[in-house]
Every structure is written in structure tokens, then in C-alpha cells.
Structure 1
């Protein structure tokens, strides 16, 4: 199993849910930009599940030497890579903030997903589970830099799913709403609309087994985003969302 963004609480909860379900892997590849932190999770998996893991360095703000990953092969990939950055109220014209949001959520991530998708296409088997965001469904003034990157990712996953279907590789898009994680720490989130990493992992695992195409972590977000997508533009542009 390949895990991109392995320090994400959702990624770690999903890995544990998969292992709790009885699946085991020759090697579980934990991709991370902070190997020293990820090593602790790898040791936890070894002790609790007797699952061998390998920590692999990946920093999407730097150039990547894909040849170093030629030996890595798996039929299951889970991607929780993401960077929220500073919202547009504070960071709209902050170039470094904008570049990192776009790089981590889209520009530098797509070549990585393509790299592993090609490996799965060659073997004609595999599942790719990738976290996008409800923020990508309509640009809103509070976070449209982040939302635009996630919109691009969602469109990419839709096309990749279409392309790989005949190659026996399934691509699932996950759209979390509010999540109780380090990335959203300090934000005023509505508890009724916020999921825990364990809730997310359980829902994603069920969807993975059913080979769903797109899944919202909390079903209420499907309705919320349907409403937001359908607000007429002449009204929407005057709203503070």
C-alpha cells in the first residue's frame, strides 16, 4: 500500500481501518516530508499489526527524482496530501502562500499520481483513493486559491477515473467537508458539519469496498454543496462565504 501524506490524521486512521479489516501488505510505503515524525507511526504499525512499513521522503515544494521510486509497486494508493495555507483575506496576494497551495494540492501532486497510475495501468489492477475537497465545487471568497487547486484535482481525478476504467484500475474521489484535524485547528467549525478522522476513515473504507466513484465524508455536504453550486451568480457574488 502507498500512502501519500502519511502524517495526515485521516490517512493514518484509514491505514489502521484497512489493517483492522485483515488486509496486510508486503510493504506499506509511507510518503512524507517529515520522516522523523512518520517513523513513530511506522513503529506503531509494526507493534500493533506486525505490518512492515517503509518511510519514503517526498516534499512537493521541491523537484522530485522519480527514479528513486522505481522499486515501489502497489495495487492500493491512498492520497491525503494537502495544504490549506492562509485564507484569501490574509494571503490572496502572498506569492509564496499561493505557490505552495497550488504546488501541494495540484501542480506537483499530479505528476506523482500519474507516476503511480501508470504503474497500476501496466499491471491492470489497482485502487487509487484521493482526498480532494468540497472547496473545489465553487470558488468562495474565503479560500478560492485553495478551492481552485482542489477543483483542478477533482477534474483530474474524474478524467483519470474515466481513462483507467478500461484498464481495471479504479479511482475514487473523496470530498471531506469540515474535518477535526491539525490542518483546521483553531478554525470555528460547526460540530454538526465536522467529522473526526475515524469517522472519515470508516466512511472511506466502506466506499472503497463498494468501489464508489465519489464520496462525501458526511452525506450532508452533498446537499450543502448542491445548494451552493446552484445559487445564481448575481446573488452569490454579494455573499460572504
Structure 2
């Protein structure tokens, strides 16, 4: 199974991550799909006739920090590519009242990422490691009153990856962050979002898998425009946004 390069996908039950599993297998990689939702992952793989030696499902809990080192050390082979795709969403009003929900977002999007990715990138014995990819969000570009708790966790994650990119430069390991807009997924199901801005998980997955040199990848022309506008918009105008 492990004579080919391996991709480790953390949070592999997300809709984007599942599309990435298929794309990486099509490109000839082996995939370790890691998630708390191992049963759901197995069901997905069976539904898409994916099996054999190309993919392994492993249990991984982003918030169980004490287990991260043993998880990594138990991998049959160390990865060439690591994808962090774990996600959790509470709407802002709920997060303001529910500390546990806010704390879960912090742990899943930032603390869990730092915990496991630190372990992975500090393993200098893994000469195969060549790329780290994180799935972030445009919500982390500027603080907005409608989603600043969720957005702050994504902003922290993006900044962590920016520093990691510099830290790993001399080792030739590339780091990338996918700064995505609205994705049609189970996490956004039920939210009232503009249909004209919705992106399919496969579209995001292709952008992530196809990344080459750029640090920040913003899939979709409309979202690229929004990203640049948000970055440049004066704070007094940002304050008027929903």
C-alpha cells in the first residue's frame, strides 16, 4: 500500500475533504483519511467504490490534543502531503451565549491544527514531507459583526500557516491556505446564503489539490474580488457590513 506517496487528510469527513480523497487517489496517491466520523467515511468510500490499498480510514479527534502524538506515530508511513480540513460552526449569536460552542470552534480550527501540525512538521526524520495545505475561510479576512467569533478562529489559523510557511522555507516544504467563500456543504445547510456566491465542494477540492506555489488560494473569480475588496476596505465601511 505504501510504495506510493501518501496524503494525510485531517478532518476527512468534510465535504471538500471527501472530494479531495477522490482527486488524490485519481492522481496516484495513497490517502490516510482521518476523522472522528469513521463510519460516515467508510460509507462514503463504499458509495463511491473506493477501497483496496489506496485509502485507509483512521480515527482522529482534532480536540483530543493528548492523542495527537500517538496518532501521528502510529501512521504506517509518514505523509508527503498533509491537509487540515477539520471544521465546526456555531452561528455568532449562539457562540456569544454558548462558551462551549465558541471554544469548540477555537479548538477545531486553531488549537487542534497547531497541536497536530506542530508534531508533523517538527518530525525532521520525515524526508517525504513536501506540502501542508489548510482549509480556511474568507470569514477570517476581516472582523465582521455577523461572524467574528468563527472568523477569528479562521484568521488565527491563516496567520499560523503564514508563519509556518516562512519557518519551513529552508526545508523546501510548501505551505498553502485555501481561503474559501460560501461552500454548499453540510456545515452551511440551512443557512440563508446568496445562491450566486455558492461554490461546490469539488470546485474547492480541485483548487486545493492543484495548488503549486501560491500561499493563499481563493477559489472563484467573484470570491477573489471580494477577498481583495475586504482587505482594502476602510474600517468604517467594514463596520457597516452585515
Q: Which interval holds the TM-score relative to the shorter structure? A: 0.7 to 0.9
- Structure 1 residue corresponding to 2:42, chosen from 39, 43, 50: 39
Q: 2:10 aligns with which of 4, 15, 27?
A: 4
Say if 2:134 and 2:177, in contact at 8 Å, map to a contact too. yes
1:29 aligns with 2:35: no
5+ long unaligned stretches in structure 1: none
Q: Size of the alignment, in residue pairs?
A: 233
What is the rounded CA distance, in whole Å, between the counterparts of 2:17 and 2:141 in structure 1? Answer: 22
* Shift in alpha-carbon separation, 1:43–1:126, aligned structure 2, 3 A: farther
The answer to whether structure 1 residue 82 and structure 2 residue 87 are counterparts is yes
Higher mean alpha-carbon deviation, 176-185 vs 211-220, is at 211-220
- Cα distance, 1:206 vs structure 2: 2.4
Q: Is this contact kept in 2: 1:172–1:213, CA < 8 A?
A: yes
**Using the alignment, how far apart are the partners of 2:195 and 2:8 within structure 1?**
31
> Could you tell me how far apart the structure 2 residues matched to 1:120 and 1:181 are?
36
Report the counterpart of residue 60 of structure 1 in structure 2.
62
Displacement of 1:215 in angstroms is 0.4
Partner Cα separation in structure 1 for residue 70 and residue 20 of structure 2? 28
Residue 63 of structure 2 aligns to a residue whose secondary structure is: coil
For normalisation by structure 2, the TM-score amounts to 0.88
Q: Which runs of 4+ in 1 moved over 6 A?
A: none
Change (3 A) 1:30 1:125: closer
Q: Determine which of 23, 38, 52 is the counterpart of 1:17.
A: 23
* Distance verdict in 2 for CA 1:164–1:114, change over 3 Å: same
Contact 1:75–1:120 (8 Å) recurs in 2: no
Summarize deviations over 1:26-48 as a string: whole Å, max 9, x none: xx221111222122234457x44
Counterparts of 1:212 and 1:230 in 2: how far apart (Å)? 20
TM-score, normalisation: structure 1: 0.88
Distance 1:163 1:236, change over 3 A: same
* 1:213 aligned residue: 215
